[in-house]
Amino acid sequence: GTGSSILSALQDLFWLSKSKVEKQLQIISVLQWVLTFLVMGIACTLILMYILCTDCWAIAALYLAWLVFDWNTPKKGGRRSQWVRNWAIWRYFRDYFPIRLVKTHNLLTTRNYIFGYHPHGIMGLGAFCNFSTEATGVGQKFPGIRPYLATLAGNFRMPILRDYLMSGGICPVNRDSIDYILSKNGSGNAIIIVVGGAAESLNCTPGKNSVTLKNRKGFVKLALRHGADLVPVYSFGENEVYKQVIFEEGSWGRWVQKKFQKHIGFAPCIFHGRGLFSSNTWGLLPYSKPITTVVGEPITIPKICNPTQKEVDFYHSMYVDSLIKLFDKYKSKFGLPETEVLEVN
């Protein structure tokens, strides 16, 4: 009896230890992405400049020569790596929150698609995990579909960071890149655009479900020009993982944010999550709140090389209605009350 009791205690201790190790690996995986999002581009640029001033300058010079040669690759679909997309670290990243991808309809491999992702959140964690990695099984759920997450073109001017982003299938959110993927890369492509962008990130806060969409019609025009079907995507919980200081319209804080957004392309947010060692302290780690990304029904879009404003408005209104219906259909399944309304700004 004593021996079996000791063995049982040792087994309990072993599983407790394993659980703790799993949690620490999850924290590390999320921390590396947060640091990548915030400082990797600047850090790599400064390190490269420093190496140019040392005896190892030839290494930096060779990389810069390669950078010039490879400069247009991000505009031509990038250079994705299935090996990187399948890294085990992304599974720990997924399980930290956890993040789930919900498929509602099949996608034909004979068509191209533009996914509108909502809401932006602070860092678009759900968009990255679901479409730039295979952690949630996007390749298995949508066989034959190649997802490209579109982000700020400025990120692809940063050494090393650009290569890291491209390995996950991330591309610049500009017309050249999108035109290439939708017209010269065959069919079965899906470009994920976080439609609300920096403006939407300024208003994200826990408990709020709002999207910046009323005057965002460029993605609809692109879809019409290429005959790419529009797919609404909503991530329940994206706004719950960080707390942000919201500046009122007309305040000095909002003025600074809008200036940054206009001239640089992103808006600086004052936000916080949990600490590295405790969930009761402030830090840069997001809170471990569930994020569930629901991919809605595709809207068939005709190919119109030069769509009129009336045509753009028509399909934009169809898209908005489809997004609202998607939100209303799934909101109660993912923790929201039936009375919750999606605010479209």
Q: What is the pLDDT of residues 163-207, one digit of tens each?
A: 999 999 999 999 999 999 999 889 999 999 999 988 888 888 899
Q: To the nearest whole percent, how much of the chain has pLDDT over 70?
A: 94
Which residues of 144-257 form beta strands (DSSP E)?
Answer: 146-151, 170-172, 189-194, 210-211, 229-236, 243-244
Q: What are the sequence ranges of the domains in the chain?
A: 17-334
Rounded-to-integer distance, Cα 317 and Cα 216, Å: 11
Burial of 174 (0-12, 13-18, 19+ CB in 10 A): middle
| pTM for the structure as a whole | 0.90
Residue 203: the pLDDT is 84
What pLDDT is attached to residue 255? 83
